[in-house]
Amino acid sequence: MKWMAGFTKFWAYVSFGLVCGVILFLFGYVFYRGAGTISVEFLTEAPKGLVLGEEGGIFPAIIGSLFFTGTAVVLGGIPALASALYLVFYCQNKKVERLLHLVIQCISGIPSIVLGLFAYSFLVRDLNLGRCILSAGTALAIMILPFIEVRAEKAFREIPACMIQSSYALGCSRFYTITRIILPACRGELVSGIILGGCYAMGATAPMIFTGAVAYAAVPESLLSPAMALPLHLYLLLAQGATSMDTAYGTAFVMMAIILISNMLATIYARRSQKKWKRS
Amino acid sequence: MRRKLNLLFSLFIYILTALAVLVLGFVIYFIVKEALPLFSEVSVGEFLLGTRWMPIAYTGSVSFGIFNFIAATVYVSFTAMVLAVGVGLGASVFLSCVATDRMRGILYPFVDLLAGIPSVIYGFIGLSVLVKIFLKAGVHTGSCVLAAGILLAVMLLPFLVASCSETMLKEREKYEAAADALGISRWYAVATIILPASFKNILLSMILAIGRAMGETMAVMMVMGNSNLFPRLLGKSESIASVIALEMGTAVYGSTHYHALYGAGLVLMILLFLINIIINLVRSRMVQE
């Protein structure tokens, strides 16, 4: 039976090495291949040339992606926080709670492409919004709503009950308790949850193929105009063949850099505002 | 004034929650509604078990059978899960039993980076690295189910590692003192106590991982070759999500093709729903024990 111990040890070290290797490879590969394309012009100019991405930069796609992400975070984040607050502090009926959890679980199980399909038929066609940032943003918002809700609810439930009880015992209203005690206490988790949800929305391609992202557009002026988006731009560059691989690597570089930076910010912020009762 | 504020805030929370639930419920209702007209033209059995997918009648008759797509979706998710568990379990043993608390604080966010990478980038790297390797190894055109499985496995890793190492950490805290007292070596304790004790939770996260893999669209679509064939490890195939993504732009609104795509989406949703039910059943049984 001694071999089992040795085998497990070997297995653990090798597979952890493999995981780290894969992560370093993914980031290293994209950064290495994309670094040559990155320049001030690439980041601040619109695509030019006959074939998409042959010349020029990706500025409208960066701004477009920010618009999509912003819309999704506002439309999805606020209801997500509200329903998490409701579930933890307002809801007293077990059945209602179970129903809410069921619906949220169902939605988080819906593949993102089906959400795109829904937004296309309902928002773009039936409501006649057309392909625009708002339609795609709504699809993305529905996608990240469960993501943020689950994290927020977990954070709220981790607050020690005595803190909430003390606040009520002092005669504070629910509003006061939530805004002055609970939200500040969970600040770290909430902000990092929203940042990660935003990253998730930014990287999703499937929900916006038919609903708002287009191959070429100027910098959007309102929420009712279509826009370019980084992930779709990358996909289209790949789909048209090997003509603009450099731009594709550059686009991937920009996306990976955004993901890496916002992940780091989220982690650092969450750690800095770690709660006092968790620190030993 | 203060009481009004309190009331207003409660109202705000109630309305937003109701809105969120209504919208989410409406999405589910809408998808079912758009899928149902299909079954007045194509029978359920024909749709689920047929292997011919001919949405446009330029070669004879139209036909809507998604059996190959369902098989491909399940097959590729299963492949991905098997690959991911092999590596993910080892990595979680490392994280829960070797790493110190400080190391964990750095390594968890590091592994989580994998979850943040957009699927289109996975597809991109799959195309420019994996597919080329498969091409050199002699697979025609390089795109195959195994390539998609490997990509998906990497995408599943952060979820598997997070949930498995959490379970193992709990089991370790429970049994470590006893194992030390008996003088068992650490690795022997890991192999014979901690791993078997966390087996059930590992199984649960494996099922969850399959569910996650089934809904993935872009990465799979980009490296799987997309042709209506029964999946083989080194052959091309097409998943349900890819069919929807590839054909939605060309389907005429209100046509059978359009409803069939919604039908495919509904099938995918039901598969995921079944997985959720299985998980809840297993979990409630575990609580009872």
Give the tens place of pLDDT for each residue, B89-99. Answer: 999 989 888 88
Cβ contact A112–B157 (<8 Å): no
What is the share, in percent, of chain B residues with pLDDT greater than 90?
6
Considering only the beta carbons, identify the residue of A1, A176, A196 that sits closest to B116.
A196
pLDDT of res. A244:
73
Cβ contact B218–A206 (<8 Å): yes
Cβ contact A86–B117 (<8 Å): no
- Residue B55, φ and ψ in degrees, nearest 5: -70, -25
Cβ contact B185–A103 (<8 Å): no
Q: Please list the residues that pair with B53 across neighbouring strands.
A: B64
Identify the band that residue A280 occupies on the pLDDT scale cut at 50, 70 and 90: very low
Give the tens place of pLDDT for each residue, A112-157. Answer: 888 888 888 888 888 888 788 888 899 999 999 988 998 899 888 8
CA end-to-end span of chain B, whole Å?
A: 52
Cβ contact A15–B88 (<8 Å): yes
- Hey, is the C-beta of B13 within 8 angstroms of any chain A C-beta? yes
Q: How far is CA B143 from the centre of its chain?
A: 20
Contacts of B161 in chain A (CB under 8 A): 19
Q: How far apart are CA B131 and CA B139, in angstroms?
A: 9
Closest alpha carbon to B276 in B177, B201, B208, B199: B208
Cβ contact B241–A113 (<8 Å): yes
- Hey, is the C-beta of B210 within 8 angstroms of any chain A C-beta? no
For residues B116-143, give the mean pLDDT. Answer: 85
Give the tens place of pLDDT for each residue, B19-37. Answer: 888 888 888 888 888 888 8
**Residue A71 or residue A219, greater confidence:** A71
pLDDT of res. A71:
92
Whose tokens are 């639930």? That residue is B21
- Tell me how close the Cα of B234 comes to any Cα of chain A, in angstroms: 22
Burial letters B240-261, b for 16+ CB under 10 A, else e: bbbbbbbbbeebeeeebbbbbb
Considering only the beta carbons, identify the residue of A99, A107, A209 that sits closest to B27.
A107
- Hey, is the C-beta of B230 within 8 angstroms of any chain A C-beta? no
pLDDT of res. A54:
66
Give the tens place of pLDDT for each residue, B219-248. Answer: 888 888 777 778 777 788 888 888 888 888
Cβ contact B97–A12 (<8 Å): yes
**Residue A279 or residue A169, greater confidence:** A169
Average of per-residue pLDDT values in chain B: 85
- Complex prediction ipTM: 0.86
pLDDT of res. B80:
92
**Residue B116 or residue B288, greater confidence:** B116
Q: Please list the residues that pair with A213 across neighbouring strands.
A: A227
pLDDT of res. A278:
58
